[in-house]
Amino acid sequence: NGIPACAHQFLLETIARESFHLNGFVVSDCGAIGNILYTHHYTSTVEDTVAVALHAGTDLECGVFYLFHLYDALNSKKIVETDIDQSLMRTLDVLIRLGWFDPPEQQIYRQLNKNNVDTLEARQLSLISAQESIVLLKNVDQALPLNINLLKNKKIALIGPTADATVTMQGIYHGQAPFLIDPVTGFKNLTAGNFINIEHARGCEISSHNEKDFAAAIELARSSDIVFFFGGIDHTIEHEGVDRKSIDLPDIQLTLIKQLEKVARSPLHVVIMSGGGVDLSYIRDSTQCASLLWIGYPGQSGGLGVATVVFGQYNPAGRLPVTIYPASYVDEVSMFDMQMRSSANNPGRTYKFYTGKAVYEFGYGLSYTTFNYTWNNNTIVSL
């Protein structure tokens, strides 16, 4: 409502501290204090900027604006020492409660080191996290899971720009992974010893207009018994600081999918890797696409997670964490319109207020299990 969040006393004091009983400190997003002056132009001097943020209740900053200009504000009497003391006490109080100043031998977290990071339990959790987040969006006539025992001497083609994705699987903020199991490796590892031929062709890049690799991908699809297309988007299209101009699946991928449909011996299986929603209406409606999986950015064991779902070693139960809108949605809503509810110029946002027809709704997801819900003495029973 016209006030930057870090300068919003009603938000931080009245709502957070008084109404929600926040018993801690408030820290800004990185660079947000400087944004009050340089981006939002809410203030005109560095001293006023420090004062308005500190008085609003922003106790700590991710950045250096306070570091460079706090003394200037104090010297110009825009703030007083008690303002600084209040934020300091809130911050130190939390550190004391967390045991920051306790003797090391009394604080178990200080005894952890790098050997406690990449453990067997952590690796197992990585795989479980990937498996639990996979969403089955389409599965015509139980096309999945594939029965690994019936695939001896069969060829499975993994085609597309995310079939061999590694770093992309980690999202935009990540540490140094001990390993990265891409889908191709996951499929090969899971089928090892079963005499199943797993082959890969990239086919195209995430987003380009170059079809030079189409021929190899199409030839592989023509000679394979089962074809998977791995597509989606990556950090070149979506990351912090970059606004997407389209929520379509990139044209190059859709073009390749349509050509693969023409030569594949059986309907395609499609796997989409993305963080935000991508219009998947063509895949949803195509009679030549048998299944559709959305896997987000599944982490270091993502490729193995997908393989366990495809071959029935894990029963998918993930649900969409986003609403997938039709591509036309970006033409209906201005990115500068922050209203959630629908209006004459806005069809509404999210599953709560969107009045249009979603491609896939928030919370949607299938399973290999068929559920039947009945009422029994006011209790829902699922079979």
Q: Which of 63-72, 139-148, 167-176 has the lowest mean pLDDT?
A: 167-176
pLDDT at position 382: 60
pTM (2 d.p.): 0.88
Domain ranges of the chain: 5-106, 120-317
Averaged pLDDT, 160-166: 97
The reply to whether omega before 145 is within 30° of 0 (cis) is yes
Q: Which of 319, 220, 323 is nearest to 263 (CA)?
A: 220
Q: Which of 272, 269, 201 is nearest to 231 (CA)?
A: 272
CATH of domain 120-317: 3.40.50.1700
Token pair for residue 9?
Answer: 């006393």
Q: Is the pLDDT of residue 108 over 90?
A: no
CA distance linking residue 52 with residue 46, whole number of Å: 10
Q: Residues with catalytic annotation? A: 29
Q: Is the pLDDT of residue 380 over 70?
A: no
What are 338-366's pLDDT values in tens digits?
889 998 888 999 999 999 999 999 999 99
Contact indicator for 63, 29 with CB cutoff of 8 Å: no
